[in-house]
Amino acid sequence: MDDKTKIELFDTTLRDGTQSEGVNLTIHDKLIIAQRLDEFGIDIIEGGWPGSNPRDEEFFQKVKEIHLQNSKICAFGSTARFPCKITSDKNLIALLKADTEIVSIFGKTWRFHAEKGLGLSDNENEEVIYDSVKYLKENGRKVIFDAEHFFDGYKDNKEFALKMLKAAEEGGADVITLCDTNGGSLPEEVFEIVSEIKKVIQKPLGIHTHNDGELAVANSLSGVKAGVVHVQGTVNGLGERCGNANLISIIPNLVLKMNLAVSKYIDLKKLTSLSNFVYEVMNIVPDTHAAFTGKSAFAHKGGVHVSAVLKDNRMYEHIEPGVVGNKQRVIVSDLSGQSNIKYKANEFGVDITENKELSKKLVDYVKSLEYDGYQFDGAEASFELILRAETNEYSPYFKALDAKVNVIFANDGQTSAEAVLKIEVDGEVEHTAANGHGPVDALNNALRKALLRFYPEIVMIKLLDYKVRVLNEKNGTAAKVRVLIESGDGNETWSTVGVSENIIQASWFALCDSINYKLFKYKAGISKKVI
């Protein structure tokens, strides 16, 4: 590939991505994602299939009201159904009505599909492709022809597949995209086939791959290596079945690893933010282990790894995390060494570099706690409290003297809970009670009620997430459990952990850590007071 060649990025998150199981976007969702893709620098945004549903038709009308700086909107559809009904084909009419500068249409390039699926002869299928592309070109559209099932079709019958590509080319298609629709091809197959097609098709080639063999990104990059200049994919690899090629992985590989230029300026530092934004809009839990942008992409747990990374991060990181808007993390666990502890202490603003005895003591203590079931890689607030206590910066702001929880089951199936709590703050005792939907909710309400007059700053603390993990299932109802709580106050979030054979006690430990953590941060001047 010529060094001056620039790769055109085609995003189909709003079309193919919405076919992902569990994804359902409103028009507003699609519009704000389109704006974010435009800001990022995507060349073409495929907005949907206007001939398939009213929502996509409305999207194409609404998106005209948005002034996009970098991206062109593309409408998606298929070739006409019958060769003799091009101008009256409802799908082609809907594509033109969408009034986009660019349209993408797919046509059958696997004989099996054309014959069995559409009932068309070779000549009829060729005619449908040629006439559909020509009709759209005559109506002033830039046409991207998606050669559906191309790789399977080419492996099955080269002559038929090539004949269909030639029909699209002769019809005037601006880009011919080779699709691995079933996602079953291997990278070497893609490279070899694209290389062969490059010799006979003069128009620019594109690549569209699916991830059924976990190879969509690799196949896309292989296509580029063989001469493709137009790459299709979705943010976070969303899509039908196992998903589409993930642009979040493809783009940094193109730029950082293959040293290729993309058509528009891309600020890779916004990559992680874009990934998380789309996850948030789609209400999907982010993949923490995603390459480049996942929370764990540059996380280090083993003591040997951390020791090396502190000397030079290139030893265990293939790029600088900040280049893609991510950051390095060090996890404290039973695999930790002193390097992990020192790193986390430094992250919290605590200097224990010269105190080898303390760092060794903390390593041993953390390992003993994790042996008992604690886990701090998802509860850094609890670990920070341990560290601050060992350096004499922190001690609990309250002490529980007595606690009782009653759960009531009514005949009508309704349940309720009541918690009675006695706590001590600076020698003063507060005795209170509160109700809740369940025992943990009641306990949480009672604790907050008891502390409010002493610490009014806790009023904005909200319990955001609550997880329970049974640690030794074989012990049945007597098993030890780990409770992980995520809390927030509108400004920040933090996570704490508790472990016990009693789920109420484990929850109590995590709740107490949550409030103590916030009070420590506020009183140390690290957090803002929010009331």
| Tens-digit pLDDT profile for residues 450-505 | 999 999 999 989 988 898 888 876 667 677 898 989 999 888 889 899 999 999 99
Q: Distance (Å, rounded) from C-alpha 448 to C-alpha 459? A: 8
Q: Which of 186-190, 328-332, 525-529 has the lowest mean pLDDT?
A: 525-529
| 272-286 mean pLDDT | 88
Structure tokens at 230: 């137009």
Specify whether 189 is located in the same domain as 164. yes
| 239-245 mean pLDDT | 97
Q: Which of 369-373, 388-392, 451-455, 487-491 has the lowest mean pLDDT?
A: 369-373
Banded model confidence at residue 364, pLDDT cuts 50, 70, 90? confident
Exposure b/e, 401-411, CB count within 10 A at least 16 = b:
eebebeeeeee
pLDDT of residue 327: 80
| 184-211 mean pLDDT | 98
pLDDT of residue 95: 97
| In the predicted structure, residue 248 carries a pLDDT above the cut 90 | yes
Of 346, 361, 390, the residue that ends a domain is: 390
Closest CA to 427 of 450, 395, 399: 399
Kind plus residue range of the DSSP H or E element containing 29: helix 27-40
| 58-75 mean pLDDT | 96
Of 345, 369, 390, the residue that ends a domain is: 390
| 382-404 mean pLDDT | 89
Q: Higher confidence at residue 191 or residue 521?
A: 191
> Rounded to two decimals, what is the model's pTM?
0.72
Specify whether 193 is located in the same domain as 305. no
| 226-242 mean pLDDT | 97
* 434 within a domain of the structure (yes/no): yes
Kind plus residue range of the DSSP H or E element containing 434: strand 428-436
CATH number at residue 256: 3.20.20.70
* 405 within a domain of the structure (yes/no): yes
Specify whether 428 is located in the same domain as 385. no
Closest CA to 514 of 422, 446, 468, 447: 447
Q: Which of 150-159, 315-324, 355-364, 391-400 has the lowest mean pLDDT?
A: 355-364
Banded model confidence at residue 370, pLDDT cuts 50, 70, 90? low
Specify whether 332 is located in the same domain as 435. no
Specify whether 115 is located in the same domain as 79. yes
Specify whether 342 is located in the same domain as 402. no
Report percent pLDDT > 70 for the chain: 88
Q: How would you classify the pairing of strands 6-11 and 230-233?
A: parallel
| 242-266 mean pLDDT | 96
Specify whether 335 is located in the same domain as 207. no
| In the predicted structure, residue 200 carries a pLDDT above the cut 60 | yes
| In the predicted structure, residue 418 carries a pLDDT above the cut 90 | yes
Structure tokens at 172: 């005037």
The average confidence (pLDDT) of the chain is 89
| 446-450 mean pLDDT | 95
* 63 within a domain of the structure (yes/no): yes
pLDDT of residue 376: 72
pLDDT of residue 275: 95
pLDDT of residue 499: 92
Banded model confidence at residue 177, pLDDT cuts 50, 70, 90? very high
Q: Are 347 and 330 in contact (CB under 8 A)?
A: yes
Write the DSSP symbol of residue 371. H
Specify whether 319 is located in the same domain as 412. no
pLDDT of residue 373: 76
The end-to-end CA distance of the chain, in Å, is 60
pLDDT in tens, 336-359: 555 666 666 666 667 666 667 776
Backbone angles phi, psi at 145, to 5 degrees: -95, 115
* 482 within a domain of the structure (yes/no): no
* 415 within a domain of the structure (yes/no): yes
Tracing tokens 């939907």 back to the chain, one arrives at 437
Structure tokens at 76: 């998606």
| In the predicted structure, residue 334 carries a pLDDT above the cut 60 | no
Structure tokens at 470: 């049974």
Q: Are 98 and 60 in contact (CB under 8 A)?
A: yes
* 53 within a domain of the structure (yes/no): yes
pLDDT of residue 529: 37
Q: How would you classify the pairing of strands 261-262 and 230-233?
A: unpaired
Structure tokens at 162: 């090539």
Which domain range does residue 50 map to? 6-266
pLDDT of residue 473: 63
Banded model confidence at residue 307, pLDDT cuts 50, 70, 90? low
Tell me the sheet residues that pair with 495: 486
Q: Higher confidence at residue 295 or residue 350?
A: 295
Specify whether 184 is located in the same domain as 126. yes
Q: Distance (Å, rounded) from C-alpha 105 to C-alpha 433? A: 66
pLDDT in tens, 426-438: 999 999 999 998 9
At residue 521, the 3 state secondary structure works out as helix
pLDDT of residue 328: 76
| In the predicted structure, residue 199 carries a pLDDT above the cut 70 | yes
Q: Are 495 and 486 in contact (CB under 8 A)?
A: yes
Q: Which of 6-10, 21-25, 91-95, 160-164 has the lowest mean pLDDT?
A: 21-25
pLDDT of residue 528: 41
pLDDT of residue 148: 97
* 177 within a domain of the structure (yes/no): yes
Specify whether 107 is located in the same domain as 208. yes
| Number of structural domains found in the chain | 3
At residue 48, the 3 state secondary structure works out as strand
pLDDT of residue 347: 65
pLDDT of residue 314: 81
Q: Are 364 and 333 in contact (CB under 8 A)?
A: no
Specify whether 20 is located in the same domain as 66. yes
pLDDT of residue 491: 84
pLDDT of residue 1: 60
| In the predicted structure, residue 335 carries a pLDDT above the cut 60 | no
Q: What is the largest CA-CA distance in the chain?
A: 92
pLDDT of residue 299: 76
* 515 within a domain of the structure (yes/no): no
| In the predicted structure, residue 378 carries a pLDDT above the cut 70 | no
| 493-518 mean pLDDT | 93
Specify whether 31 is located in the same domain as 129. yes
**Helix 187-200 to helix 158-171 angle, to the nearest 10 degrees?**
50
pLDDT of residue 15: 97
Angle at alpha carbon of residue 325, lines to 487 and 306, rounded to 5°: 75
Q: Are 261 and 254 in contact (CB under 8 A)?
A: no
Q: Are 223 and 254 in contact (CB under 8 A)?
A: no
Q: Are 273 and 293 in contact (CB under 8 A)?
A: no
